Amino acid sequence: MAHELKNKLQSAALDVVDKITGKERKKNIIFYFTDQQRYDTANNDIMPNLYALGEEGVTYTDCYTCQPVCGPARACLQSGVYATQVGCFKNNISLPRSITPLAEYFNREGYDTAYIGKWHLASDRDFNCEKTAIPRERLGGYRYFRGADVLEFTSHGYDGYVFDENGNRIDFTGYRADRINDFALEYLDNAPKGKPFFMFISQLEPHHQNDRGRFEGFTETVSDFRCHPIPEELRHFKGNYEKEYPDYLSAINRIDYNLGKLVEKLKEKGIYEETVIIFTSDHGCHFKTRNMEYKRSCHDSSTHIPLVIRGGDFRGGRTENRLVSLIDLPATLLSIADIEVPDYFSGFDICDDDYERECVYIQISESQCGRAIRTREYKYSVSAPTYALGMTVPKSPVYVEEYLYSLADDPMELHNLIKDPSYRIVRNKLKKMLLEEMEREGEGKAVILPAAIVKSK
């Protein structure tokens, strides 16, 4: 209590100095990032601490990823542009050193920058550090680092190792999400005094454990979710949700526990009120219902993600239903820090109350070379004629219509209308909109063929 009171008094003293000098202190920013978390899991039942943040801040109900694959989604956040623009259109392509990464903008403005957890942007076909230390020049400009390039390769749900910015290996025991969060708490205890910070916390949970082919929840709470209702949309398909959903929810619930510990630490340090917290995920999870794995599809179960922001101008317990894309968050982060947003950034600054998207543009790779848009009313998706292209090329000159859903009538996306003649006008309008998005983001001109002229896959 005495330590907390001291920090509060120091913070109050700095506030007085700021008022006298007319200077406004820069806000600390924490980006709390999960992996493969569905939007519908971010509720008071599973995540009470996140829900409490939303009660103080702003909850966005319609946020969607711009790329439902781990590496590409991360590349978008660190570069401010779409995956095809930065070149990381699939996993195992390193972030180009020719770009100015997100952290560098904060470094230039006097921020201390830290990255904790899964990076997934250092290895490529010419250099592999999936299980070894990441060279400093491949850390995207972050000056403090506790993580691994592919965290699921250096650890399991319990126990593993990470590296620091100097390449030193750090072994840990216990639940992985706990330990990653502990590294973040350790940073807060040792962060430079009187200097704002930008910390990116990249949890692996609730992502499945690759080498074991299953989700690994916090063992003490998995049984608490055995009877938890499975989303109705999943039950319309075959998948592995019956077996895996309890561990999945347990992992998310443990993330929330750790988020609560982070908030407690900020309050203990007396910096909670001057810190903006952004919570989101890279993509969702459809439990092998839409294709043979967990993501890489246009469906909301794969693309709809949680987004809660608390602090700064994001206050009041508001709910926003504007369409938001993951690609909007780099610009928003810079705006929160009063850093000028580069003109070449693809996304919008959601701090701007006048901003309104007509659609969210989504690139899909690996499972296919696909493109999609989501509007308020419709989902429209196309893919290159050969699915194998998703692993070999970033874009295609020719696409074929694949999915059309009327979201007002069919929110679970159960009825594909792509060949329904009564939706011809709607299809043509959406096709025009998608082609404009593709061209705007540097993909050049492409042709989209109607599904009817191609044999069913």
Q: Which of the residues in the chain have pLDDT under 50?
A: 1-8, 10-11, 13-14, 16-17, 19-22, 454-457
Domain boundary pick from 313, 336, 359: 336
Residues 301 and 434 in one domain: no
Write the CATH number for 434. 3.30.1120.10
Residues 401 and 265 in one domain: no
356 part of a folded domain:
no
15 part of a folded domain:
no
Residues 313 and 195 in one domain: yes
11 part of a folded domain:
no
Residues 326 and 445 in one domain: no
pTM as predicted: 0.94
The number of folded domains in the chain is 2
Residues 287 and 405 in one domain: no
Domain boundary pick from 315, 336, 357: 336
Residues 304 and 405 in one domain: no
Residues 332 and 372 in one domain: no
353 part of a folded domain:
no
Residues 283 and 380 in one domain: no
Residue-level pLDDT at 457: 33
Residues 323 and 402 in one domain: no
Residues 107 and 216 in one domain: yes
Residues 145 and 240 in one domain: yes
Residue-level pLDDT at 354: 87
Residue-level pLDDT at 387: 80
Write the CATH number for 96. 3.40.720.10
293 part of a folded domain:
yes
104 part of a folded domain:
yes
Q: Which domain holds residue 426?
A: 368-453
Residues 38 and 162 in one domain: yes
Instruction: Give the chain as a 3 state SS string.
Output: CHHHHHHHHHHHHHHHHHHHHCCCCCCEEEEEEEECCCHHHCCCCCCHHHHHHHHHCEEEEEEECCCCCHHHHHHHHHHCCCHHHHCCCCCCCCCCCCCCCHHHHHHHCCCEEEEEEECCCCCCCCCCCCCCCCCHHHCCCCCEEEEECCHHHHECCEEEEEEECCCCEEEEEEEHHHHHHHHHHHHHHHCCCCCCEEEEEEEEEECCEHHHCECCCCCCCHHHHCCCCCCCCHHHCCCCHHHHHHHHHHHHHHHHHHHHHHHHHHHHCCCCCCEEEEEEECCCCCCCCCCCCCCCCCCHHHHEEEEEEEECCECCCEEECCCEEHHHHHHHHHHHCCCCCCCCCCCCCCCCCCCCCCCEEEEECCCCCEEEEECCCEEEEEECCCHHHHHCCCCCCEEEEEEEEECCCCCCCCCCCCCCHHHHHHHHHHHHHHHHHHHHCCCCCCEEECHHHCCCC
Domain boundary pick from 286, 319, 336: 336
211 part of a folded domain:
yes
4 part of a folded domain:
no
